[in-house]
Structure 1
Amino acid sequence: MSGRPDPDEVGVELPRQRRHTLFFLEEVRDFSPVFLDTEVDMGRVLAHRTAAREREGVRFGISSYVLRAAGRVLAAHPDANAAVRRGPRGPRVAHYPFVHGKLALDRTLQGRRVVLGTVVPDVHEAELDAIQKHVDRVRDGDPERLEDFEGIRRLHGLPWAEGRRTFRRAAASLALRARLTGTFSVSSLGHRAVDSFHSVGGTTTTFGVGRIVDRAVVRGGELAVAPVLRLSLAFDHRVIDGAEAADVLTEVKEALESV
């Protein structure tokens, strides 16, 4: 039809800064996610957070509390802290003697807003201040210079096909995967008007953190108003079943409510 552009010629090349996200999404297509959610009374977390800020001038992020709680819970659930991949003779599963927590961060890289992940190592043993220091360093550092994102920057510089092969090789290694994506993931959108969401973070378990809102709750048989967080869990059904995933989510909830 005269005057109409060729559909193949419409649009421009996808920004290189988003390549790692596309490669990642291709790799997680094998996942078989199931989604759970719960509500967490965050009264004790917020009181602890306020006291730390007033006493020590330290501001702990909500995601840091979730990382700490989930790390300790997953240390007691080795199957939920495992990872699986396809193999020529069937699926292979790896159980890790450590718990590494990945936190997704909203950053700007080369002028483009993207998601970058940082892995907090041995989070099952780390105290809250050490977790927060790691998060602050990566959140406030320059992603153009941080060593944490050197691999991502190199990946962006490769031709599309080579970058894709490189990413797939890394994702295929269960040993390397734990260092790159952690053994579990946390993603938060609670800074905006998002009550809850579900995300697949490339790990057997991924926790989604929404905003904290005052809601009606029952405490000791009495109606009260409490700051409530909707916490979600996406789990890979290939690795664990719903009963264990429910245990994990419940235990993280209990850990946050007893800070």
Structure 2
Amino acid sequence: MSVRPVAPQRRHTLHFLDEIRQFSPVFLDTEVDMSAVRAHRQTARAAGRRYSIVSYLLVVSAGVLARHPEANAAVRGRIRPRISRYDTVSGKLTLDKTLDGKRVVLSAVLPDLDRSGLDEVQRQVDHYRDNDPAVMPEFAGVRALHRLPWPVRPFAFRRVVRPLSRRPRTFGTFALTSLGHAAVDGFHSVGGTTVTLGVGRILDRPVVRDGGLAIAPMMRLSLAFDHRVIDGAEAADVLTEIRAGLEAYAPSPVSDAVAAATR
């Protein structure tokens, strides 16, 4: 047996988990038929464009949350709690990255998703996926936090993330985390936002359509919501609309690259 201090590269995770202790989570889940998304991805790939599943989820979810301002919100305080509802939708995407030789979870906040198309969202996802967090300016704050001494570090973290006015930039207004690349069918995660989506893998499964048996690419989608901010009916509406948006995915307009290639 060996006992060692927590790796410096994981210190931000410990502070985050401590910060969300007040979260009051309730968990929902559903299955989504990804046939429409799969068809769009195949058409895009033939036109030389690559879209990840999380990009579709970010775009569709942002559109739904823009229509549900009660859920696009954050709460702060115990004795006199305050709720801030935001005019734009920012998504926090978790990333499996290596920082200074240590495998860690980092988070990237993609702003103004309700005003962004699929191409722009994919560009941002690619940026965070392909670059090194050890030198990316977006993670300069995390790297600085790791270097601070213990008595200062929790205070510095709270000072950055607690103000409601900063939440869209630091936490996002909703969170998305995916383990769909692994043999994980479904999982529930708390991302520190009122709504957190958890994404599992897509598998061809038997489904009933029009009274007959068919095979469809199905994905388990979970939603954790903070009961301090919204209730179950609102959360269920959000999850239902996200599912409907994915199952009937038809961007309007289709990205220029795809549209030009399919004329």
State the TM-score, normalized to the length of structure 2. Answer: 0.93
- State the match for 1:30 in structure 2: 22
Cα deviation, residue 124, structure 1: 0.9
* 1:171 lines up with 2:161 in the alignment: yes
Cα deviation, residue 101, structure 1: 0.6
Q: How many matched pairs?
A: 249
Q: Secondary structure at the match of 2:109?
A: strand
Q: CA RMSD in A?
A: 1.1
- State the match for 1:70 in structure 2: 61
- State the match for 1:256 in structure 2: 246
Q: Which amino acid aligns with 2:83?
A: V
- State the match for 2:77 in structure 1: 86
Residue 91 of structure 2 contacts residue 110 of structure 2 at CA under 8 Å; is this kept in 1? Answer: yes
* 1:127 lines up with 2:117 in the alignment: yes
Tell me how far apart the structure 1 counterparts of residues 24 and 164 of structure 2 sit (CA, whole Å).
18
Tell me how far apart the structure 2 counterparts of residues 157 and 58 of structure 1 sit (CA, whole Å).
40
Choose which of 107, 115, 130 in structure 2 pairs with 1:117: 107
- State the match for 2:4 in structure 1: 12
Cα deviation, residue 230, structure 1: 0.3
Tell me how far apart the structure 1 counterparts of residues 165 and 16 of structure 2 sit (CA, whole Å).
17
Tell me how far apart the structure 2 counterparts of residues 148 and 71 of structure 1 sit (CA, whole Å).
22
Query: Structure 1 residue runs of 4+, over 3 Å off?
Result: none
Cα deviation, residue 181, structure 1: 1.1
Identity %: 58
Cα deviation, residue 13, structure 1: 1.3
What runs of 5+ residues in structure 1 fail to find an aligned partner?
Answer: none
What runs of 5+ residues in structure 2 fail to find an aligned partner?
Answer: 250-263
Tell me how far apart the structure 1 counterparts of residues 195 and 33 of structure 2 sit (CA, whole Å).
21
Tell me how far apart the structure 2 counterparts of residues 122 and 220 of structure 1 sit (CA, whole Å).
39
| 1:135-154 deviations in Å (ceiling 9; x for gaps) | 10111011111111010000
| 1:32-67 deviations in Å (ceiling 9; x for gaps) | 000000000001101100110111x12111111110
Q: How does 1:1-259 map to 2 (within 5 A)?
A: 11-55=3-47, 57-86=48-77, 89-259=79-249
